[in-house]
Amino acid sequence: WWLEAIQSSPSSTRKGTTSLVMLTAWSIWKHRNAAGFDNSLPSIASLLDGVKAEARQWSRAGAVGLRALLPLDPI
End-to-end CA distance of the chain: 31
Domain locations in the chain as residue ranges: 14-69
Report field, pTM of the whole predicted structure over 0.95: no
Rounded CA-CA distance 9/44 in Å is 25
Rounded CA-CA distance 45/31 in Å is 11
Cβ-count burial 49-58 (b if 16+ within 10 Å, e if not): ebbeebbbeb
pLDDT in tens, 21-51: 899 999 999 999 999 999 999 999 999 999 9
Residue pair 74/22 in contact (Cβ under 8 Å)? The answer is: no
